[in-house]
Chains A and B, each alone.
Chain A
Amino acid sequence: MKYSRTTLAFAIVGVLALSGTLVACSSGDKNNNSGSSTTLDPNTKVTLNVVGLLPGSKPEAQQALADLVTQFQTANPNITVKTHDYEWKATTFAADLAGGTLPTVFEIPFTDAKTLIANQQISDMQAYLSQLSYASSFNKNLLQYGQGDNGDVYAIPAKSVYAIGLHYNRDLFTQAGLDPSKPPTTWDEVRADAKAIATKTGQAGFAQMSQDATGGWQLTVDTYARGGRMEDGKKATLTNDATKAALQFLKDLRWTDNSMGANFSYDWSGINQAFAAGKIGMYTSGQDVYTSLVQTNNINPKSYGLTMIPLSGGDSGVLGGGTMAAVSSKATNNEKAAAVKWIDFYYLSKYTNQAAAVKNAQTQVASKQPVGTPELPIFSQAQYQQYEDWIKPYVNVPLDQMTTFTSNVFSAKLVNEPAVATQDVYKSLDPVVQAVLTNKDANIDQLLSDANSKAQRAIDSAG
């Protein structure tokens, strides 16, 4: 029998293709062997990969997490939990997601859930979430972020539900001759205090994030605080007067007062690090950032202060957001069933169950981790206040240094982040903030006009 080389080549390709198909089939079988049950069979062993703490968290924080994992595994002997260090970043999340390197349970900002649902990148968790006693008690405004078109819940409000606050260093205030118990309440006072701090201490009086879409995020914060908005339906409105005023404010601090230090390329973790190290007098960020300042940046609690961001203008408000827990679309049913148990244990049960709240607080206190950092309610305000009462004996964060925030935040108007192409809109504003902070002759009108075109392009592409 004689064969041509072509025949031989086809034969080889055929064998390779066949074996490839067999491999694909076998892996497909593996993925589908978990049945359709929404409860976890107690005899099935499940290993669940979840996100843990921020990279670089202190050993005490790691210990507290390890204790929680042990408690969870004791209560659920058939589930093994593996935690992974994690920091959500707009610039790395998509790569991690596409590359399959995210844990099965991961965290996302409120603004991203809808698109991830539409792209079928996270699992429908409705059937699993319904098993929890408090499934119908979520704050509807928060829950809607994670619901698909079919009304099912895919991403679950989990933690860090925040309003933006003005964080300040009490030590620098004192050194600058300012009263740390009377933080600024207007933007003019922020400017005056920043100048005093820069002049008297040599540190940055006020700093602003500008990288990884945080520049746009914070400029949106500043815009809302002055009564402006970044979007009107599907129209980008970046050229509004409030945004211009916010940029002029930064320009004045940077170039007229020279009160913003020498670093103008902070991202979220970078500005936290500099603030905890005593290099920044004031900055704006989520109200709950104190927890990571302790866990990751070793802040001196006595130096920390939190107050309301100044509000001016008729429609002014405080930008609010938060973090949701999501489960990979590749998770098996058993993993989803285990995931909802972990989400309940790690994120939510403490708000709804006194024993869980106390146990969690005790675990955190044992490792000297912050308990009682102010948040906004995931459920109702009454329930959140009840949770605060439960953990009162264990609170170890300096709440008395945050009273100007905590006593006012519930009466402030909370404004959601831009709804369409949020991160793209933020990203288009990063260069604007950077230009104002690094170029004395930056033309604010022109910069905003260019950014508006880019944002509109992104909004149009988002459909």
Chain B
Amino acid sequence: MSATGAGRRRSPVTWAKRGGLSSVVFALPVLVVFGVFSWWPIVRSVVMSFQKTNLVGSPRWVGWHNFVFVLTDPDLPTAIRNTLYFALLALVIGYPVPLVTAVLISSVRRYKGLYSVLAYLPVVVPPVVAVLLWKFFYDGSAQGVFNTILRWVGLGPYSWLSSPSLAMPSLVIEATWAAAGGTVIIYLAALIGVPDELYDAAEVDGAGIWQRVWHVTMPQLRGVLLITFILQIIGTVQVFLEPYLFTDGGPANATLTILLMIYNYAFARSLGGNYGAATALSVMLAAFLAVLSLVYFKLTSRWSKS
């Protein structure tokens, strides 16, 4: 309190001489960048969600109309269901894969760096290129790459992206391949922090490899695992690239996700988007994720401390 009181009495010159100005100058770029590219768009989105605008003429206030419009959209339940399905599949397939990969890489004695590079390589491939590549792999004809491989073992051909039941798992597999590398690196970094003595002690106690992973590695990674878990949920709930580029939400809305719906509201109509509906759904999604994150951290705070 006293510092604040002293601040009020100081002249700008004194304030500047004592480093106040340089602090502001140093903080300014960050503030400007965040302000212009993060906070201002967020504020604009909230404002726009209560407006009808075509970004050319003056916007009109429409109250809760955009929210009602979105909530009564017959496609919304499908999009929510698909998004949750994607998130679930991504958790089942995508969450353990990087962990297992990281544990395996950290366990090998030679070429650890090489394996890390190989695991990270897909992250370096530009996402659009990766999707186009996988689109080629997923060719539904008998001559498609995956179908050719599966034919060798007497399976297929499968329609992959043209099948309502296979389309979503196909997307998740590509998304896992594309994103796992980043998470592997995070786990590897965390694994370096696990003291070797713990493994030695466990080994002396007669623990096998799986027991060491379960009783030593996992508890030591708990904090990182909890963070990557919520990041994964937030990331997968906002999935857009894969359904947009692979299937455009098809076939028959089988891969229509919430973010794709937001995009469609805003941009898919050639005659100017329904920006109000797009921002309304964005605001609702952001609010949901914020609440989810708060609840999650509240529930798991005890675990990460222990």
Which residues does A use to contact B, with CB under 8 Å? 2-5, 8, 88-95, 97-98, 108-109, 112, 115-116, 119-121, 210-212, 261-265, 329, 423-424, 427, 430-432, 434-435, 437-439, 442, 447, 450, 453-454, 461
Q: Does B113 contact A (CB under 8 A)?
A: no
User: What is the interface of chain B mostly: helix, strand, loop, or mixed?
Assistant: loop
- CB atoms of A93 and B74 under 8 A apart: no
Q: Which of B157, B161, B162, B269 has the most CB of A within 10 A?
A: B269
Q: Does B250 contact A (CB under 8 A)?
A: yes
Q: Does B34 contact A (CB under 8 A)?
A: no
Name 17 extra pairs, CB < 8 A, besides A115-B272, A264-B159.
A90-B268, A94-B267, A95-B273, A108-B270, A112-B271, A210-B250, A262-B159, A262-B162, A265-B161, A434-B251, A438-B162, A438-B163, A439-B164, A450-B74, A453-B74, A454-B74, A454-B75
Q: Which of A119, A265, A454, A461 has the most CB of B within 10 A?
A: A265
Measured CB to CB, the nearest residue on chain B to A88 is B270
Counted as pairs of residues, one from A and one from B, with CB atoms less than 8 Å apart, the total is: 119
Decide yes or no: A94 and B74 within 8 Å by CB, A119-B57, A262-B159, A434-B252 being known contacts: no
- CB atoms of A435 and B252 under 8 A apart: yes
Measured CB to CB, the nearest residue on chain A to B161 is A265
Decide yes or no: A2 and B12 within 8 Å by CB, A115-B271, A119-B272 being known contacts: yes
Q: Which of A98, A427, A447 has the most CB of B within 10 A?
A: A98
Q: How large is the interface on B (under 10, 10 to 19, 20 to 34, 35 or more residues)?
A: 35 or more
Decide yes or no: A94 and B56 within 8 Å by CB, A4-B8, A434-B251 being known contacts: no
Q: Does B181 contact A (CB under 8 A)?
A: no
Question: In the complex, what distance in Å separates the CA atom of A435 from the CA atom of B267?
Answer: 24
- CB atoms of B268 and A265 under 8 A apart: no
Question: In the complex, what distance in Å separates the CA atom of A265 from the CA atom of B75?
Answer: 20
Question: In the complex, what distance in Å separates the CA atom of A78 from the CA atom of B207?
Answer: 84
Task: Enumerate chain A residues within 8 angstroms of B248, measured Cβ to Cβ.
Answer: 91, 211-212, 265
**Whole-angstrom distance from the CB of B253 to the nearest CB of chain A?**
5
Q: Does B107 contact A (CB under 8 A)?
A: no
**Whole-angstrom distance from the CB of A331 to the nearest CB of chain B?**
14
Mask: chain B, 121-146; 1 = CB below 8 Å from A; 0 = not: 00000000000000000011110100
Q: Does B54 contact A (CB under 8 A)?
A: yes
- CB atoms of B268 and A427 under 8 A apart: yes
Q: Does B247 contact A (CB under 8 A)?
A: yes
- CB atoms of A438 and B159 under 8 A apart: yes
**Whole-angstrom distance from the CB of A47 to the nearest CB of chain B?**
24
**Whole-angstrom distance from the CB of B160 to the nearest CB of chain A?**
9
**Whole-angstrom distance from the CB of A192 to the nearest CB of chain B?**
23
Decide yes or no: A5 and B267 within 8 Å by CB, A262-B157, A431-B252 being known contacts: no
Task: Enumerate chain B residues within 8 angstroms of A89, measured Cβ to Cβ.
Answer: 270
Measured CB to CB, the nearest residue on chain A to B246 is A265
Measured CB to CB, the nearest residue on chain A to B144 is A262
Question: In the complex, what distance in Å separates the CA atom of A95 from the CA atom of B139?
Answer: 29
Q: Does B15 contact A (CB under 8 A)?
A: yes
Task: Enumerate chain A residues within 8 angstroms of B274, measured Cβ to Cβ.
Answer: 461
